[in-house]
Structure 1
Amino acid sequence: MPRQVDHESRRRQIADAVCQLADESGLEGVTLRDVATRAEVSMGAVQRCFRTKEEMLVFALTHIGERITARVTAQLVASPAQSARTTLGHAATEIALLREEQRAEARVWLAFVAQAAVTPRLAGILRASYAELQALCTRLIGEATGTAAPEHAARALLALADGLTTHVLIGHLSPEEALDVLDGHLTRLWGEATT
């Protein structure tokens, strides 16, 4: 009797291989053959899961976005008694991918951001991911500050988090310096809300 394959599990396995390869050599270094080797599956298995390289990249980007969103959500669920300000700080730190254990994920995320500039399907996924994160930050900022325009503050916070990711990856800032910048921004945001 033929072995049953969990198709969705296989797709995630391949997406993980895409991310590992992208971390090592950028998205230009991701080939179907290398992905098959890294995922320890046949080329045929990769092609059965994904008709094209772009389809494979789209799934891998969605997979990363889901992992980041899941961590942010877990932060919110883990400590529901926290203030909105504390929760927002934790969420912003997760979004910025500043911890050492997130460095590979940050490199892969930025590789996808760069590729999205020339790949409309990837850009669409990123827009949806950022819209979801912006809605979350807008809600938390509104709860924490009572400001009348939390959308603007949420957009600024997301842009700052992305910028800090880049600055840490290239060594312009240490993770600690980036966290100080983020904390300073949040402190100013709270101060602006009370004036």
Structure 2
Amino acid sequence: MRAALFLLPTILLASPALAQEFSCEGAFAIDSSEARLIEIYGADNVWTGIVPGPEGTEMLATRVFPDSPKRMLEFVWWNEDARTDPSYVELPGKMAGPAGVRAGMSVAEIEALNGEPFTLSGFGWDYGGYAGFESGALSGLPGGCNLSLRFSPGPDPVDVDTDAIYGDRELRSTEPLLETVGARVDSVAIGYPHPDFRD
């Protein structure tokens, strides 16, 4: 499922590489590695270890600024032994992505930025609310990376039947119930296909 999770280039950061316009190069490039992260951010700011994964699993990840949740970047590698070939990178909530994509945006706002509808998975399970972009302005990003957004329903209860947007199913961004429940971007990530499937 890692490959399904991720995609994006232009992001605003705030520290060494976190204050400039971000693209899928350097630390975030397709050929990045733990060694490159240490070179860019410094060994004291890079930690690699076991972290929680989906559906109760555990996985190896490298975290930049691990003690600062507002700045922390989490890299998961296709090649865990060498810690190379990024599978995906989870970004802090304050980072803004291409066309201004950021946490807190509505489904309708993201659809407008993409220039056309997109699909996302139903809520309420480990892969719930994830959306990728196979077409539109948010697809085919420079550097070969992909943008993945995760949406979550708003905190306020609604007095309607919402079963149609929950569970392991595919939803269109035009589904009216998404607006009814106040779905918003909860997280932003970028990712790359497995090396065996790259052009």
**How would you bin the TM-score normalised by the shorter chain?**
0.3 to 0.5
TM-score when normalising by structure 1: 0.33
Greater strand share, 1 or 2? 2
Of structures 1 and 2, the larger Rg is shown by 1
Greater helix share, 1 or 2? 1
